[in-house]
Amino acid sequence: MTDKSAQPRVMIFDTTLRDGEQSPGATMTHEEKLEIASLLDEMGVDIIEAGFPIASEGDFAAVTEISKLSKNSTICGLARANFKDIDRCWEAVRHARSPRIHTFIGTSPLHRAIPNLTMDEMAQRIHDTVTHARNLCDNVQWSPMDATRTEHDYLCRVVEIAIKAGASTINIPDTVGYTAPRESADLIRMLLERVPGADGVIFATHCHNDLGMATANALAAVDAGARQIECTINGLGERAGNTALEEVVMAMKVRNDIMPYRTGIDTTKIMNLSRRVSAVSGFAVQFNKAIVGKNAFLHESGIHQDGVLKNVETFEIMRPEDIGLHQKNLTMGKHSGRAALRSKMSELGFDLADNQLNDLFVRFKALADRKKEVYDDDLIALVADEATQDAHDFLQVKRLRVICGTEGPQEAELTLSVDGVEHATDATGDGPVDAAFNAVRAIFPHEAHLQLYQVHAVTAGTDAQATVSIRLEEDGRIATGQSADTDTIVASVKAYVNALNRLIVRRQKTAPDADVKGVNYKDA
């Protein structure tokens, strides 16, 4: 048996709430961010990047609150290379038991051209901003954005400057997902060999998944000496996303023989976090996603099933329980009580407060009246659906009736609460979904354009719940919405309204106002 405690410790830096939330459409509400942060904290994430405090009042409030509530994790905020960003970041994270400022600037030729700085001017700016951050906070992380496309000599020069100015973590981002495993490892090795002072800091790897290599690139960097992986739950993130936390953590656990590194992550919390992040971000997890996809532990073919029944290791390299997936799938019916529901939810990884359990119980009973058997996936969909609706939502669906069929026009009668005031209307359309969405538009006129409308059955059977995912776009802003119901049209309207509520939150987020051109970067 290997002594794991002797293995090098790799720090897990989770950026679901910053890089993940930056993904178009993944906007989370304040309460959702607090919930995810508390789950990450409980799971053993070493550093939580809670947001970009200067980006909006909402980001600032979330980072401040998460800093106050964190119990174990270091709380980090992002800041561009100017004093105003850094001061605002410090104002938010300073409440944490263990705060960190993460400041960055694009160092590759393409990124240097944006603020139009010469190499010397940028080097000076890195020195000034890291020094400024270090004067505020003992724990400073610095990132040369687009490091993987930065000239090696210049990268060594600026990393050395950041270390001398007091950064204790140097993050090497593959901002555009351009690198490959061997190159990712070589870059870390080159920096460790060439930069004076490199042995006194932690090197981090931050990979994007544009070429599908984010996990492999991060693990290769660790093999070369990086000791912090930046990642997100479900690989959430801009474009093709970031390195997925669950993938790197489980890879080091399952293949510890060839990747002998340890983390502080309680892997049994992975599945619950994956579900919660999917629910609050509105980003469904693809069925065949590694580790957390619906099919990751399913064995459909006869040969596989036979093998698994004889010996699970025939086709399974990890146990579902290792990630907190309990597949007993015992069904619940309308006679099941509150205690049975509590125990089932806890088995599924949801430790609900009494009021949450009460709400869920009411909805579970309503579902059980409509559906013979309530499966695990139904319950998970109910919890996810609960997360998409809030008593404070600007728009709320109150009543819906739809007439459809082969005869006559398709009609919808809808009552929607808009900022607390109920409005009712009738609308027709080309099919029941179109009629219902036209009714929403009649009550709450908007220019948002429907980019995606997707329906999935949660379980088998004609009485199955439908989960509907919607993506809306308005002036470049994207918002997604989700809902589940045994009535597909009800789920569709609720998902549409959920997306509209998120769009309203997104509209309220102001554009970052700090100076990016670099002229007045010292002005506080």
> Using CB atoms, what's the residue nearest to Zn ion?
19
Nearer to Zn ion, 147 or 491 (CB): 147
**Chosen from Zn ion, ligand KIV, none, partner binding at 104 (C-beta under 5 to 8 Å by type):** ligand KIV
Q: To which residue do tokens 């992040």 refer?
A: 277
CA dist 368 and 437 (Å) reads 28
Closest approach, Cβ 59 to ligand KIV, in A, equals: 14
For residue 190, the number of C-alpha atoms closer than 13 Å in the C-beta half-sphere is 17
**Chosen from ligand KIV, Zn ion, none, partner binding at 43 (C-beta under 5 to 8 Å by type):** none
Contacts of 127 (CB under 8 A, 6+ apart): 161, 164, 165
**Chosen from Zn ion, ligand KIV, none, partner binding at 143 (C-beta under 5 to 8 Å by type):** ligand KIV
Nearer to ligand KIV, 174 or 247 (CB): 174
Q: To which residue do tokens 């900022």 refer?
A: 419
Nearer to ligand KIV, 40 or 207 (CB): 207
Question: What is the side-by-side strand order in the sheet with 410-418?
Answer: 395-403, 410-418, 421-429
CA dist 478 and 406 (Å) reads 35
**Chosen from ligand KIV, Zn ion, none, partner binding at 145 (C-beta under 5 to 8 Å by type):** ligand KIV
CA dist 212 and 247 (Å) reads 12
Closest approach, Cβ 174 to Zn ion, in A, equals: 8
Nearer to ligand KIV, 141 or 438 (CB): 141
Which spans of this chain sit near ligand KIV (rule: CB under 6 A)? Answer: 19, 104, 143, 145, 171, 173, 175, 206, 208
Nearer to Zn ion, 243 or 274 (CB): 243
Nearest Cα to Cα of residue 507 among 448, 449, 453, 450: 448
CA distances from 322 to 44, 93, 271, 272, 314 (A): 15, 33, 9, 12, 17
Nearest Cα to Cα of residue 209 among 243, 250, 172: 243
Q: Retrieve residue 117's tokens.
A: 């700085």
Nearer to ligand KIV, 150 or 267 (CB): 150
Judged by CB under 5 A, the stretch of 13-21, 64-72, 396-404, 470-478 that binds Zn ion is 13-21
**Chosen from ligand KIV, Zn ion, none, partner binding at 172 (C-beta under 5 to 8 Å by type):** none
Nearer to Zn ion, 169 or 492 (CB): 169
Q: Retrieve residue 72's tokens.
A: 């174990």
**Chosen from Zn ion, ligand KIV, none, partner binding at 378 (C-beta under 5 to 8 Å by type):** none
Question: What are the residue ranges of helices labelled H in 44-118?
Answer: 57-69, 83-93, 109-112
Judged by CB under 5 A, the stretch of 12-20, 112-120, 128-136, 475-483 that binds Zn ion is 12-20
**Chosen from Zn ion, ligand KIV, none, partner binding at 478 (C-beta under 5 to 8 Å by type):** none
**Chosen from Zn ion, ligand KIV, none, partner binding at 107 (C-beta under 5 to 8 Å by type):** none
**Residue 485 interacts with Zn ion (CB under 5 A)?**
no
Closest approach, Cβ 146 to Zn ion, in A, equals: 10
CA dist 397 and 450 (Å) reads 18
Give Cα 338 to chain centroid, integer Å: 31
What are φ and ψ of residue 59, in 5° steps?
-65, -40
Nearest Cα to Cα of residue 424 among 402, 439, 445: 439
Closest approach, Cβ 218 to Zn ion, in A, equals: 12
Nearer to ligand KIV, 210 or 413 (CB): 210
Nearer to Zn ion, 171 or 501 (CB): 171
Closest approach, Cβ 75 to ligand KIV, in A, equals: 16
Q: Retrieve residue 409's tokens.
A: 């026009």
Rounded to 5°, angle at Cα 487 from 483 and 492: 40
Closest approach, Cβ 128 to ligand KIV, in A, equals: 19
**Residue 19 interacts with Zn ion (CB under 5 A)?**
yes
Closest approach, Cβ 415 to Zn ion, in A, equals: 43
CA dist 43 and 14 (Å) reads 11
Nearer to ligand KIV, 144 or 181 (CB): 144
**Chosen from ligand KIV, Zn ion, none, partner binding at 247 (C-beta under 5 to 8 Å by type):** none
Q: Retrieve residue 490's tokens.
A: 């009800």
Q: At what angle do helices 270-281 and 30-43 cross, to 10 degrees?
A: 170
Closest approach, Cβ 346 to ligand KIV, in A, equals: 36
Closest approach, Cβ 238 to ligand KIV, in A, equals: 8
* Contact (Cβ atoms closer than 8 angstroms) between residue 423 and residue 413: no
Closest approach, Cβ 195 to ligand KIV, in A, equals: 18
Interface residues with Zn ion (CB under 5 A) are 19
